[in-house]
Chains A and B, each alone.
Chain A
Amino acid sequence: MSNGRPSQLFRNKSAKIAAIPMIVTALFVFVGGTAWTVVYSFTKSGLLPRLKWVGLDQYERLWSTNRWLVSIENLIIYGLCMLVLVFVIGFILAALIDQKIRFENTVRTIILYPYALSFVVTGLVWQWILNPDFGIQSIVQGLGWESFAFDPLYNADIAIFGVLIAGLWQGSGLVMVLMLAGLRGVDQEVWKAARIDGIPAWKTYIFIVIPMMRPVFITTLVLVVTGIVKIYDLIVAQTGGGPGVSTEVPAKYVYDMMFRANNLGQGFAASTMMLLTVALVVIPWAILEFGGSKNRG
């Protein structure tokens, strides 16, 4: 600094000025809104926010509510199944399409198409398909298999898997496209080298190609996980949380508490818990992923 080097703060002035509105928005809306929500989760806010402190009462009530516990359980089941299956299905589809098939563009478009639909449409479509009176069950029964039963949405024990089917149908296309882009990024000569080395295709995928696709996997993971945590509209359109509370999810709990039950405090407490859960996953990962990069240079 002593040799007259300009201060870091005033370098690239125009770029910094241009970024100010976004920085202000981010600070005010995201950080400010988050802080505000966390603060009011410790109050007895009802229809309107009120600064009447009740300590951890809202949280105690939250964790003793059956509906919230079911929501969390559903999110875990849906999340884990979705995460594993969407990656497996998406990758297999991408690997199949990567075999230099004919009409690749057409097939790719068909598989990606569900992603272009809104969750409300997907939810409704699958609600009808899974409806025992005029969906798959009635068609199969109409073909002569009278005892056939397939009505996941009407069985509280497995209703969440009915939602999972719809979620997979919509989400696999996006994963496939991302994976396909990743596969295309792998040098063809690496494949040739592996063939010369006599390595079977499945081993080449697992030990060579997939490790090379790590950045694509991380991007996809972030997209899929955020999609899982914020799942709301699919549930509303497909099951409405039913039968009973068997397909409730945390985001729906928050919405219902805040805008239907007129219990803002409870909604804030639930959303704070969601934030905490996401933070518990993201922060250690971010430290691992980006914290080490400084040491590596």
Chain B
Amino acid sequence: MNNSVEIKNLDLEFGSVKVLQNLNLEIGKGEFLVLLGSSGCGKSTLLNCIAGLLDVTAGQIHINGNNVTWSEPSERGIGMVFQSYALYPQMTVEGNLSFGLKNAKLPKTEIAQRIKRASEVLQIEPLLKRKPAALSGGQRQRVAIGRALVRDVDVFLFDEPLSNLDAKLRADLRVEIKRLHQNLENTMIYVTHDQIEAMTLADRIAIMRGGQIMQLGTPDEIYGQPINKYVAGFIGSPSMNFLDGRIKGREFEFGDLSIPMTGYNFVNGSPTDSETTLGIRPEHVVTGELVGNAPFQTDVTVGLIEPTGSDTLVDCELAGTPFRVRMDGQAKVSVGETLRIGLNPSRASLFDKQTELRL
């Protein structure tokens, strides 16, 4: 019984709309799981089901080995942090932290102790007497995390907690959440649409689409071996280049180019002859001196340059298809110039054109 949260055959329907379909998920003790997907994919809905804020249509939810499918949210042993912080505005920070505990009739000394501990961990001690209106966004979200912390539970749920913050604060608080997880070793389930948050925080990422989990894996697996074309395009920024062609034996034929796929790990052995999409990330295209080692090399004409400081993105065309290459920020390149690029098939992905599944 090492699983902290288990979701078994979960269905959720709103009238005739199926929001979640036959969803299974097991989350280990102390694991940081991120539910990632674009809006409307059902990730927040799933989190609300785990929290007990939505009644499921079918299936079961187990937390710490107990079947909590029909338990009240407060009895499930969870704490939750919301996007809009959802603090009680008329109460001080201390009141916010203690209200639920007082309501549960905990002894005063116990409440004081828990608040002390939570405010130390989150460094909100100087704010305890203030009201939420007098706090900045980052401080408010810290208080909201504190409210989950004082509940002394094993499972934390985060519903896009950083989406209301500006970019810098988001990066800061992201690090703090990661540190918090390392210190507390609680199970955390975190919903976001931000892939950077997902990649940096997660032990495992579940990519969701249309109420189903497309792929569940470590950030490395999701990034390196996306299970289908949707996941491949969703993860990574700038997004993956896709080239539509045919696979013939060990060669990927694309326009007048033929790319040898030696070194590529096929999932079910190499197909003989089928319509295929090759996906290659802009950062896996090599330029300059490294081209010499690449199994496949070609020339492209630089069409557009997007410098971002740390690196430079080059837009070009590869046999008539738009293609992006990421170069080092220091590299000298100009529009119209011919650029020698190299591809390494072992870092690319092949997808069946019809099913969009990884080959």
Interface readout for B64-88 with A: 1 if CB under 8 Å, 0 if not? 0000000011110011101111111
Would you call A212 and B90 a contact (CB within 8 A)?
Answer: yes
**Counting chain B CB atoms within 10 Å of each CB, which of A197, A199, A207, A212 scores highest?**
A197
Interface residues on B, range: 20 to 34
Would you list which residues of chain B between 70 and 117 have a CB under 8 Å from chain A?
Answer: 72-75, 78-80, 82-90, 99-100, 103-104
Check A187–B99 contact: CB distance below 8 A: no
Q: Are A193 and B90 in contact (CB under 8 A)?
A: no
What CA separation (Å) do A198 and B89 show in the bound complex? 18
Q: Is there an interface contact between A208 and B53, defined as CB atoms closer than 8 Å? A: no
Known pairs A207-B99, A211-B90, A212-B90; A198 contacts B104 (CB<8 A) = yes
Residue-wise interface mask of B (26-52) relative to A, using a CB-CB cutoff of 8 A (1 in contact, 0 not): 000000000000000000000010011
Whether B147 sits at the interface, judged by CB under 8 Å, is: yes
Q: Mark A235-272, 1 if CB is under 8 A from B, else 0.
A: 00000000000000000000000000000000000000
Q: A198-B72, A198-B103 are in contact. Are A190 and B80 (CB under 8 A)?
A: no
* Cα separation A187 to B82 with both chains bound (whole Å): 11
In the complex, the answer to whether B74 meets A196 with C-beta atoms within 8 Å is yes
C-alpha gap A211/B78 in the complex (Å):
27
B84 touches A198 (CB 8 A): no
Task: Decide if A189 is an interface residue (CB 8 Å cutoff).
Answer: yes
Chain A residues with Cβ below 8 Å from B151 are 196-197
Contact of B74 among A198, A203, A211 (CB under 8 A): A198
> Which residues of B are found within 8 Å of A208, using beta-carbon distances?
88, 90
Measured CA separation A207–B95 after assembly (Å): 11
State whether the Cβ of A192 lies closer than 8 Å to any Cβ in chain B: yes
Q: Shortest CB–CB separation between residue A191 and chain B, in angstroms? A: 8
Closest beta carbon of chain A to B15's beta carbon, Å: 12
Give the CA-CA distance A207 to B88 in the complex, in Å.
9
B73 touches A196 (CB 8 A): yes
CB of A192 within 8 A of CB of B104, answer no
A195 within 8 A of B: yes
Alpha-carbon distance between A203 and B52 when the two chains are bound, in angstroms: 19
- Bound together, the chains give a CA A192 to CA B87 distance in angstroms of 11
Interface residues of A in 174-230 (CB under 8 A from B): 187, 189-190, 192-199, 203, 207-208, 211-212
Q: Is the CB of A203 within 8 A of B73?
A: no
Of the residues A189, A193, A198, A212, contact of B75 by C-beta under 8 Å: A198
Contact B74 A195 (CB under 8 A): yes
Cα distance A198–B150 in the bound complex, in angstroms: 13
Give, as a whole number of angstroms, the nearest-CB distance from A184 to chain B.
15
Which residue of B has the minimal Cβ distance to A200? B103
In whole Å, how far is B111's beta carbon from the nearest beta carbon of chain A? Answer: 13
> Nearest-CB distance from A197 to chain B (Å)?
3
By a CB distance below 8 angstroms, the chain B residues around A199 are 99-100, 103
Interface residues, chain B, with chain A CB atoms under 8 Å away: 48, 51-53, 72-75, 78-80, 82-90, 99-100, 103-104, 144, 147, 151, 159
Top 5 A-B pairs ranked by shortest CB distance?
A: A198-B74, A197-B100, A211-B90, A189-B86, A193-B86
A residues at B contact (CB < 8 Å) = 187, 189-190, 192-199, 203, 207-208, 211-212
